[in-house]
Amino acid sequence: MDIAVTTELAIFSVQDGALRVLLETGATDGLPKAPFPGDADLDRFAAALLSRLTGFDGVYIEQLYSFGRRSQNTAMTGVTVAYFALIPPAVSSTVRSGLYWQPLNENWHLPNEQREVLELATQRLRDKLGYSSIALPLMPEEFTLGHLQEVYEIIGGEALDKRNFRKRILSLAYVEETGRQRRNGSHRPAMLYRARNPGRVEILR
């Protein structure tokens, strides 16, 4: 009656203007996963796997869903526990070799069960954008409000009004000024902000 349990991760990051998911190269490319040994805590195991894959520690990870009897095609049966994680724009060196960042707005092949996980994860991300500070784990330590708005727009898939966006974000007090500025190109420099509670995603309302 014992069963193979697999942990599967949908790891997101926003890079070069696109929401991307981390894929593992292999026989068929797919979401990174590992067999769960059973002698550890599931959530801790997933977090450790995330850290091993990306080099990031203590970043956002959340359990998504558990599936029984995945992949009806293959003979393999078992239980898959899917997680979804968010990491800041990665310096390329931090990600382990054999992994790459796949933009979500392109079309590419992914096994059906993994596509289901991925869609569930992106849906969750989009939903939480509206009632939590879920975007912050995707940001670098310091960022401008313009950059934050860009991330919201990339995930949400629609343009936002700048004034309303800033009003809302500042009233929610997710973020605070660092006092420093970023001078970027040939234009007015922008104030830099940071998360008020780094590593903590807060729910609103």
Partner DNA sequence: CATGATGGTGTTCCTTTGACACTATGTCAA
Partner DNA sequence: TTGACATAGTGTCAAAGGAACACCATCATG
Footprint of its own copies (CB under 8 A): 1-5, 35-43, 45, 63, 65-69, 77-79, 81
Closest CA to 154 of 11, 42, 7, 12: 12
Contact 130, 139 (CB under 8 A): no
Q: Which is nearer to its own copies, 66 or 184 (CB)?
A: 66
161 is a site residue for DNA (CB under 7 A): yes
The only residue of 145, 151, 175, 195 in contact with DNA, by rule CB under 7 A: 145
**94 is an interface residue for DNA by CB under 7 A:** no
Residue 78 site contact among DNA, its own copies, none (CB < 5 to 8 Å, cut-off depends on kind): its own copies
Q: Which does 42 bind (CB under 5 to 8 A by kind): DNA, its own copies, none?
A: its own copies
In sequence order, what are the residues at sequence separation of 6 or more whose Cβ sits closer than 8 angstroms to the Cβ of residue 172? 133, 204
Nearer Cβ to its own copies (39/106): 39
Site string for DNA, 168-187 (x = CB under 7 A): x------------x-xxxxx
Residue 44: CB minimum distance to its own copies, A: 8
DSSP 54-108: HS--S-EEEEEEEEES--SSSS---EEEEEEEE-PSPPGGGSPTTEEEEETTS--
Q: How many Å is the Cα radius of gyration of the chain?
A: 18
